[in-house]
Amino acid sequence: MKRIGVLTSGGDAPGMNACLRALVLTAHANELEVIGFQRGFNGVLDQEYQTLSPYHVSGIIQDGGTLLKSARCPAMHTEEGLKQAAANLHDLELDALLVIGGDGSFRGVLELAPYYQGKLLGIPGTIDNDVDGSDFSIGFATALDTALDAIDKIRDTADAFERIFLVEVMGRHTGYLAVAAGIAAGAEQIICPELASELDLDKIAEHVEQARKHRGNCSYIIVIAETMYPGGASALAVDLEQRGIECRASILGHIQRGGRPVGADRILATKLGAYAVEQLVQGAHLMMAGEINGKAGLYPLALTGDKKKQVDSYLLRWQQQVAQY
Amino acid sequence: MKRIGVLTSGGDAPGMNACLRALVLTAHANELEVIGFQRGFNGVLDQEYQTLSPYHVSGIIQDGGTLLKSARCPAMHTEEGLKQAAANLHDLELDALLVIGGDGSFRGVLELAPYYQGKLLGIPGTIDNDVDGSDFSIGFATALDTALDAIDKIRDTADAFERIFLVEVMGRHTGYLAVAAGIAAGAEQIICPELASELDLDKIAEHVEQARKHRGNCSYIIVIAETMYPGGASALAVDLEQRGIECRASILGHIQRGGRPVGADRILATKLGAYAVEQLVQGAHLMMAGEINGKAGLYPLALTGDKKKQVDSYLLRWQQQVAQY
Amino acid sequence: MKRIGVLTSGGDAPGMNACLRALVLTAHANELEVIGFQRGFNGVLDQEYQTLSPYHVSGIIQDGGTLLKSARCPAMHTEEGLKQAAANLHDLELDALLVIGGDGSFRGVLELAPYYQGKLLGIPGTIDNDVDGSDFSIGFATALDTALDAIDKIRDTADAFERIFLVEVMGRHTGYLAVAAGIAAGAEQIICPELASELDLDKIAEHVEQARKHRGNCSYIIVIAETMYPGGASALAVDLEQRGIECRASILGHIQRGGRPVGADRILATKLGAYAVEQLVQGAHLMMAGEINGKAGLYPLALTGDKKKQVDSYLLRWQQQVAQY
Amino acid sequence: MKRIGVLTSGGDAPGMNACLRALVLTAHANELEVIGFQRGFNGVLDQEYQTLSPYHVSGIIQDGGTLLKSARCPAMHTEEGLKQAAANLHDLELDALLVIGGDGSFRGVLELAPYYQGKLLGIPGTIDNDVDGSDFSIGFATALDTALDAIDKIRDTADAFERIFLVEVMGRHTGYLAVAAGIAAGAEQIICPELASELDLDKIAEHVEQARKHRGNCSYIIVIAETMYPGGASALAVDLEQRGIECRASILGHIQRGGRPVGADRILATKLGAYAVEQLVQGAHLMMAGEINGKAGLYPLALTGDKKKQVDSYLLRWQQQVAQY
């Protein structure tokens, strides 16, 4: 093994740069050349790439976003695109391709496998944390603290006005971010797919009234996962007001994707970047480098999208039990 | 003068607690008792209040929100409400009432004046900064850094995807926050009432294309003041996409109101709280305690809403000149 | 079980308040009264305490420090003190005592056991993370991000001046904080007890020269655990200068103990507080509520000080291998 | 005027990069080429420089430190060095040199003046804020918030242990940072050169005892400017303990120099960078571009070190009056 490629794909996540750094340093220690592709798979198809040496990744451990940029690449869903990508990788004499992204990106990797003769490895990088095979994905810890910081600020106004706020957080079809942010913010209610596939307006309203009975007028924060209500938190706020629950919606949006990675993300990203290269050298293929119970390990790429990982049901149940006090 | 009342009114702003602290400590040094009303003028009407001693304001200099809570008070727009408020203030033998809020709250104070025999003083507290008689209002500096922190995070994703973002900031009918955040974030475009009363979709689109011609694909951030477009940044994003400008909207919303006050706000709040009490003792009436050119001073409450203060036109013009490079 | 006591002991750690909140809410759900003692065991001896209801812990999840205050209590190292403490707990008819602190505090708990008839439970709260039976102790994650934020700032100056900095972090006799902060900051060198019991000036100097040979003049940061050098980082800086290595020392000190807890600490603190009360109700005694591999569990208090937990040797070894590039 | 040089000199300050960006963009708008020298005046002497185009300063507005690096340059204190510097500037056909730094750097500029035929302009960049001719220097606002954040954290521990802390902040021979941080942190005592040239141990101790009499045991924070006591805060802590005042010292050190610039610094830096170039084009020479009362203006370089600017005596006096409550 002499030369490997790397790209970042899907939504950017804080820590992707820390991962690139670790990966390049480890490759250098193993005398491997690293080629970084621009804009996800587009860089493979368009042959936009650069050599990445330790010099290029110096000082990027603390940067949000991704040095290599990211983008969707519809062409990779066609046979023609896949063949072209494989051909370009072969032309560059790349012995392996490492993809930092979410399970959507990993599906693309699996589709490329029949055409490409090198090794393929994934590293989980997404703030949604919805990747099986790793307790946490790169970016989740930072997104949690970003969301939390925002909710803490909203709490100030909610307290001052004894107001109800609906805060919509990211997470696609999972509630990892909603549950973590909701617990950490001391939210009065958490609405996420893991609790109920459908949202019940009556139950929400009843809970609000219950809490106000116990505690008098006070702030009340509902953390809601995106995709839980048609039209999002803004539409839900309108519908709740029609039931006499006056509330404000706040959609945190893209701020959750950016920012300097927190310590936990830099450490995870560094570990997985280093480990992935070491495992490549050892022959790993079609696997994802993840961390389970504090230890780096490999997990079949084909299983990373099975949605078997669970949110913390202990805390979720506890929150429902005590939130009214 | 023996006893004074204080309340916070209008939107909460970081630093209101620091102001309350300074005010109470200064009153204590001048042997004045302080009564704090809850929920703005509602506390006056409903007789919900508490004595505030140095003990109560210890350790609150760093807290966002307001210890006294805030709320709208429609009753203060009726003669009956004003008379009742004055009667309650007289019953409590209050020699003066201090109101921390924006120019809307100050209008309420002016309406109360004919009925109340004590002194009336205002202190500017609003993140919008739209109060004449003070270079900055309490809360503006913190809101700027909160908005900036959010835009910096959005920049990470915008860079990674070479994408255009519309970021909507608060400010009501003024562009103080939009201009400051836009300059500080290095935004490519700033849209605010001071530049043009009406927004021109063609000009926005042309500017984007111009910048992309100069710089190639890259991130591009438009900071837009709320109330500049019907339906806000989300509606604008839809309309821009119809002209072929693909962009995302991010509405920063209520996070801009909360959070720990930054140093500048704590210092301003401390100075104005201390100064206001000192001036009350000296007989000030129907004035606002503000800071101009670094010095505390009094300004007629009746003029605080004249909108004569200006955004920094030097920087705004500069930004328009260089943003395309 | 009707009434339980709680205290915070040893160095304060961010998240202790979040833990108190969870503990009180869970006790309330289980119809238990909670008595909070002031200043660690001093509050037990001096009978300074307060009842803690959900009202008292509302809104404290985000506060650093500890509502109950903390202090050393030398009297608890005497038989007389222990007997008095037990007698006071009996007088208050407390069925159990919960202690949030480090392994030093837990030793005190074990010494109290022969005299006190109620249940005794510990919860790990210390930024040092040096407690067996829990992967992380409350406060560690926040201390890491505080240290990291400081080192990132120091990096700016180190880069600007191409200078060497020695940054001393807390951790008592362990390197958890030094290793985590060093990895996350991309430090060029980490000096901690787990790597070598004694510090070798020649090796440090050699490493610096090696790195400068590879990379030219550049910033170079050494993260060093406290207690690794007599006189600390300042003395080490002086001694290194005598060998021709010009460097600056920065002792992060007490800032590492305070601040708003990050999400990870709030979640851990909430989980352990809730779990500890649930386990008390089930009869747990002389145990510590910890979290291992993401799951709450009990661990014998007597073993919490055995120092069997390890720093992440994978990352530590990796850092030594690549830091010179 | 066709080509100008720029360098950053003295201690780095957050916002220097924002200033470089504004300066380069404005030069570009005025069709001027910009040469950036590395490591302060060393880059002039060693002929280490690079052309700076808008591309080079894209995305640096938010970075701490300085792109151009900084360093002391003893050779500039010799006639030979000055002559060589001037010769090198002439060789590069530079019509002007812009220096971002403190008054020490400006003295160097004045010494260069007799030898160099181009224009010379300064921009105040130092966290110490000790430059006449500008209300604030670039970096001061950020350093204030960094110090404040640290003191807030120390307050948590001070509260938990009812302890006295001595916090030493930067500022060289002035108290701008100490006064601002002390006021904003609600410090119980501020020790700075503007209050007394010599520090009185008895008065410090008396104040502590007075406060404890008024308020009972509580946290107590003394913010002290560096250079106020031989050996600094650590030595002072030792000496205070000998008088029975148990206290801890915390030296904030170099963290105060780094970090992302806050909004106020980015705006000031942008304004001064733009203004300086515009004034150069208009013929300014031997002046500093500063901001007074919110407006950019020129001030003779020769007067910038006169130490006529004052700390906020109103707040300082107020603090002394109320701090005991």
Which of these, B246, B72, B261, lies nearest to B164 by C-alpha position? B246
Question: How far from each other are the two terminal CA atoms of chain D, in whole angstroms?
Answer: 60
Give yes or no for residue B152 having a pLDDT over 80. yes
Which of these, B30, B38, B54, lies nearest to B5 by C-alpha position? B38
Q: What's the gap in Å between the CA of A66 and the closest CA on chain C?
A: 17
Give yes or no for residue A63 having a pLDDT over 90. yes
* Long-range contacts formed by D297-303: CB under 8 A, 24+ apart: D299/D132, D299/D133, D299/D134, D300/D133, D301/D106, D301/D109, D301/D110, D301/D120, D301/D121, D301/D122, D302/D110, D303/D132, D303/D133
Q: What is the mean pLDDT of chain A?
A: 96
pLDDT of residue B213: 87
Torsion sign, CA atoms A219, A224, A230, A233: positive
CB D151 within 8 A of CB D190: no
Give yes or no for residue B168 having a pLDDT over 90. yes
Residue in the block written with tokens 């990895």: C183
The model's pLDDT over A72-117, given as tens digits with 9 standing for 90+, comes to 999 999 999 999 999 999 999 999 999 999 999 999 999 999 999 9
C155 touching chain D per CB within 8 A? yes
Give mean pLDDT, residues A133-157: 98
Residue B297: strand, helix, or coil: strand
How many beta-carbon pairs under 8 angstroms link C with D?
105
Give yes or no for residue D216 having a pLDDT over 90. no
pLDDT of residue D196: 83
D184 touching chain B per CB within 8 A? yes
Q: Tell the burial category of C2 from Cβ atoms under 10 Å away from its Cβ (0-12, 13-18, 19+).
A: exposed
DSSP secondary structure of A246-277: -EEEEE-GGGGG-SPPPHHHHHHHHHHHHHHH
pLDDT of residue B325: 83
Give mean pLDDT, residues B36-65: 97
The percentage of chain C sitting over the pLDDT mark of 90, rounded to a whole number, equals 94
Query: Would you name the residues of A annotated as active-site residues?
Result: 128
pLDDT of residue D277: 98
CB D127 within 8 A of CB D140: yes
pLDDT of residue A281: 97
**A183 contacts C270? CB cut-off 8 A:** yes
| CATH 3.40.50.460 correct for B142-257 | yes
β-sheet with D247-251: strand ranges across: D189-191, D220-225, D164-169, D247-251
Quote the strand ranges of chain D, DSSP E: 3-8, 33-37, 49-51, 96-101, 119-124, 164-169, 189-191, 220-225, 247-251, 287-292, 295-300
Which of these, D62, B154, B221, B157, lies nearest to A66 by C-alpha position? B157
Give the nearest partner residue to C253 out of D159, D250, D259, using CB atoms.
D250
Name the pLDDT band for C259 (thresholds 50, 70, 90).
Answer: very high
pLDDT of residue C220: 96
Give yes or no for residue D259 having a pLDDT over 80. yes
Give the nearest partner residue to B152 out of D62, D141, D315, using CB atoms.
D62
Name the pLDDT band for A3 (thresholds 50, 70, 90).
Answer: very high
The percentage of chain B sitting over the pLDDT mark of 90, rounded to a whole number, equals 94
pLDDT of residue D232: 95
- D153, D155, D223, best to mutate vs chain C, most C CBs in 10 Å: D153
Give mean pLDDT, residues B47-51: 98
Choice among A29-38, A206-215, B19-28, C174-183 with the minimum mean pLDDT:
A206-215
pLDDT of residue A319: 96
In angstroms, the CA D77 to CA D67 distance is 25
Give mean pLDDT, residues D128-152: 98
Looking at residue B261, the DSSP 8-state letter turns out to be: P
Tell me if B3-139+261-303 shares its fold with B142-257.
Answer: yes
Active-site entry in B128, B130, B145, B265: B128
In this complex, the chains that touch A, judged by 3 or more CB pairs closer than 8 A, are B, C
**C69 contacts D161? CB cut-off 8 A:** yes
Chain D positions in Cβ-Cβ contact with residue C71 (cut-off 8 Å): 161-162
Give yes or no for residue D255 having a pLDDT over 90. yes
The percentage of chain A sitting over the pLDDT mark of 70, rounded to a whole number, equals 100
pLDDT of residue D215: 84
pLDDT of residue A82: 98
Give yes or no for residue C197 having a pLDDT over 80. no
Give yes or no for residue B66 having a pLDDT over 90. yes
Choice among B185-194, C13-22, C200-209 with the minimum mean pLDDT:
C200-209
Choice among A299-308, B212-221, C83-92, D147-156 with the minimum mean pLDDT:
B212-221
Chain A positions in Cβ-Cβ contact with residue B8 (cut-off 8 Å): 160
pLDDT of residue B212: 87
Give yes or no for residue D39 having a pLDDT over 90. yes
Chain C positions in Cβ-Cβ contact with residue A260 (cut-off 8 Å): 152
Classify D142-258 by CATH class: alpha beta
Torsion sign, CA atoms C185, D249, C254, C233: positive
Residue B38: strand, helix, or coil: coil
CB D199 within 8 A of CB D232: no
CB C58 within 8 A of CB C22: no
Catalytic residue check, C306: no
Name the pLDDT band for D28 (thresholds 50, 70, 90).
Answer: very high
pLDDT of residue C196: 83
Chain A positions in Cβ-Cβ contact with residue C183 (cut-off 8 Å): 266-267, 270
Give the nearest partner residue to C254 out of D8, D71, D154, using CB atoms.
D154
A260 touching chain C per CB within 8 A? yes
**B258 contacts A156? CB cut-off 8 A:** yes
Give the nearest partner residue to A71 out of B12, B161, B252, using CB atoms.
B161
The model's pLDDT over C99-140, given as tens digits with 9 standing for 90+, comes to 999 999 999 999 999 999 999 999 999 999 999 999 999 999
Chain A positions in Cβ-Cβ contact with residue C218 (cut-off 8 Å): 58
Give mean pLDDT, residues C182-194: 96
Give yes or no for residue D167 having a pLDDT over 80. yes
Name the pLDDT band for B197 (thresholds 50, 70, 90).
Answer: confident
The domain spans of chain A are 3-139+261-303, 143-257
The dotted CATH code for A143-257 is 3.40.50.460
Q: Pick B3-139+261-303's CATH classification: 3.30.360.10, 3.30.9.100, 3.30.530.20, 3.40.50.450.
A: 3.40.50.450
Question: How far from each other are the two terminal CA atoms of chain C, in whole angstroms?
Answer: 60
Give the nearest partner residue to C258 out of D11, D155, D255, using CB atoms.
D155
pLDDT of residue C86: 98
C30 touching chain A per CB within 8 A? no
The model's pLDDT over C244-257, given as tens digits with 9 standing for 90+, comes to 999 999 999 999 99
Give mean pLDDT, residues B236-254: 95
Name the pLDDT band for B199 (thresholds 50, 70, 90).
Answer: confident
A132 conformational bin, left if phi > 0, alpha if psi -120 to 50, beta if neither? beta
